[in-house]
Amino acid sequence: MERLKGMLKFSCGFIAVVLVVTMLSGKSAVASEGSDGDYVVGDGDSLMISVWGEKELSGTVTVRPDGKITLPAIGDVVASGFTPTKLSEYLSEKLAKVVNKPIVTVTVNTITNNKIYVFGGGVPSGVAVLPSRTTLLQFLIRYGNFRGIDLGNAYLLRNGKKMDVDFHSLLVKGDVAKDIPLKPEDMIYIPDNEAYKIYVMGAVANPKYVFYRDGLRILDAIIETGGFTKFAKENDVLIVRKEGTSTTEISAKVKDLMKEGDMTQNVHLKPGDFVIVKESIF
């Protein structure tokens, strides 16, 4: 029961967080684009260089793999590793040799070096390239399905160190004060939660575990694992349920359920259940 309450609380909390982020997304995007923060320019980024009063020196450039950009009058200069503000100051110093008191503004048009790594059994592992500055909460909501994840053991690695991030408060309680901006090369670990797995084995097409969800029944689990094989004893399905130190076995006649509509056989499943479909010898 406590597990079910926790899962319902997660669902409600997650929906609330999605609504909050959706309402604030426009405002957040404007703030990210208009503020310098501590974003560091990297290879592949597209930059708009504006030199006040000097149109021929202004334009859009792309940071090359060697970290440099090319500007009229001063040639190649290093851009990678600077924040936009620091790069503006650096370019002003360079241009001062050919322009009297230059005023330079650097705007990041497109971010391509902003790679985030995601791993762990709770989500598909991979590399995500963020097109603009993104917070952890924004990324998690966009990333996908979080059914069956273990928020208590999720963490964010930055430069090899765990950041102080409470994933549970962020996603379940909707505490946006816990949200933080992501940085290039951040690594997000999200494990799955063994307690929410239901194992389906025996004479089914694709024996595997499925994640519990509210209202999941035995027929749902069998369908998710590809249905019965031709050797399955469809009226001899066993549910093994462990609760504390005790183990309970529940029999289900799924054939009667499908052929005769006997809904009493469509047993509600619980997190941690084992569903065993027995196989006929003949």
Domains defined for the chain, CATH in brackets = 2-36+113-189 (3.10.560), 46-110 (3.30.1950.10), 196-279 (3.10.560.10)
Place of tokens 């597209």: 46
Q: Which residue has the higher pLDDT, 227 or 147?
A: 227
What is the C-alpha to C-alpha distance for residues 124 and 270, in angstroms, rounded to an integer?
24
Closest CA to 81 of 157, 156, 184, 182: 184
pLDDT digits over 134-160, tens only? 889 888 888 766 667 888 889 999 999
- pLDDT at position 19 is 40
pTM of the model: 0.53
3-state secondary structure of 137: helix
pLDDT digits over 25-35, tens only? 433 332 333 34
CA distances to 189, 205, 219, 221, 250 from 265, in Å: 39, 21, 9, 13, 10
Closest CA to 184 of 110, 243, 111: 111
In terms of Cβ atoms closer than 10 Å to its own Cβ (0-12, 13-18, 19+), residue 30 is exposed
Answer for the pair 77, 91: CB distance below 8 angstroms, yes or no. yes
Q: pLDDT tier at 8 (50, 70, 90 boundaries)?
A: very low
